[in-house]
C-alpha cells in the first residue's frame, strides 16, 4: 500500500478521500487484515484499481497532448528556419 501511495503522490488520507472510503480502509492494509483481504471479496481493491486506471488514462492523455504540441512546434520551428535560410 505504501508503494501505491508513493506512486500516486498521496498520503493515506488523500487516497482515502479520492476513493471515497474511510482512512482506515487505506491504512489498515497490513497484518491480519491484509492477509484476509482478497480482491475477490473486498471491494476496496476494485475501487483502487478503477481509480488507478483512470489516473493512468488521464496521464496518458496529458502525454499525448504534450507530444502533439512538441510535434507541431518542431514542424513550425523547422519551417521558420527554412524561411530564414531561404529554402
**Confidence (pLDDT) at 31:** 58
**Confidence (pLDDT) at 7:** 92
Identify the residue with better confidence: 85 or 66. 66
Q: What are phi and psi of 57, to 5 degrees?
A: -60, -40
**Confidence (pLDDT) at 33:** 59
Structure pTM? 0.73
Each residue's pLDDT tens digit, 9-51: 999 999 999 999 989 888 866 655 566 677 888 888 899 999 9
Amino acid at each position: 500500500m505504501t508503494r501505491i501511495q508513493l506512486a500516486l503522490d498521496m498520503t493515506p488520507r488523500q487516497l482515502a478521500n479520492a476513493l471515497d472510503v474511510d482512512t482506515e480502509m487505506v491504512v489498515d492494509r497490513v497484518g491480519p487484515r491484509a492477509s484476509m483481504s482478497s480482491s475477490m471479496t473486498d471491494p476496496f481493491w476494485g475501487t483502487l484499481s478503477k481509480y488507478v486506471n483512470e489516473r493512468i488514462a488521464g496521464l496518458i492523455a496529458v502525454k499525448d497532448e504534450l507530444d502533439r504540441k512538441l510535434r507541431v512546434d518542431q514542424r513550425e520551428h523547422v519551417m521558420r528556419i527554412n524561411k530564414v535560410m531561404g529554402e
